Amino acid sequence: MGVIIVTGIPGVGKTTVMKKAAEGMDIQFVTFGTVMVDIAMDLGFVKDRDDMRKLSPEQQKELQIKSAEKVASMGDVILDTHCTVKTPKGYMPGLPEWVIKKINPTAIVLVEADAEEIFNRRAGDTTRNRDQDTKEEINEHQMMNRAAAMAYASLTGATVKIVFNHDNAIEEAVKQAAPVLKRE
């Protein structure tokens, strides 16, 4: 099966959908942001995972490389991460060439939803401190993620599957992701 990357913009529901899709499967589920924030806290860079995208690009890159090295040593995993990270200086690639080649995924699952659904999920999830983007900004970010996902695919030969996670339709999203998780 190889490494499967699951991605999508903040609040779209990638952790919720893929954790459910991976239930009962004999594969480790790894959240890249958790690996990163553990390293960031050790280095004294941040106290909260939602503060990392506001660090300087150099600091984010350092964390990204260290995290990629750790993940690359884990073998086959489902990796929950971001195609692009929205920083004050612009979109940063979540998986630049030196990261995507280390991880070498066989498939990329891109979770999407309507801008309004994402807007409301961000507002309703008080466990996180997500950006308060407008619906236009949410759409722009989803468009950038599609472009980034295909760029990563062309560096690795990975397939890209778009999975829609509409409100109260997690089961349908899991069903759409199922062929990617099937062992051949």
Q: Which residues make up the interface to Mg ion (CB under 5 A)?
A: 15
Residue closer to ligand ATP (CB basis): 11 or 93: 11
Helix, strand, or coil (residue 87)? strand
144 binds, among ligand AMP, Mg ion, ligand ATP, none (CB under 5 to 8 A by kind): none
Angle at which helices 135-156 and 115-124 cross, to 10°: 100
- Told to check if 116 binds ligand ATP by CB under 6 A, we report no
Instruction: Report the C-alpha gap between 10 and 167 in whole angstroms.
Output: 15
Query: How many residues interact with ligand AMP (rule CB under 6 A)?
Result: 17
- Told to check if 13 binds ligand ATP by CB under 6 A, we report yes
Q: Give the other-Cβ count within 10 Å of 135's Cβ.
A: 12
- Told to check if 145 binds ligand AMP by CB under 6 A, we report no
Phi, psi (rounded to 5 degrees) for 124 = -85, -15
| Closest residue by beta carbon to ligand AMP | 33
Write out the two tokens for 139: 């759409």
- Told to check if 167 binds ligand ATP by CB under 6 A, we report yes
Q: Are 81 and 32 in contact (CB under 8 A)?
A: yes
Which residue ranges make up the site for ligand ATP (CB under 6 A)?
8, 10-16, 121, 125, 128, 130, 165, 167-170
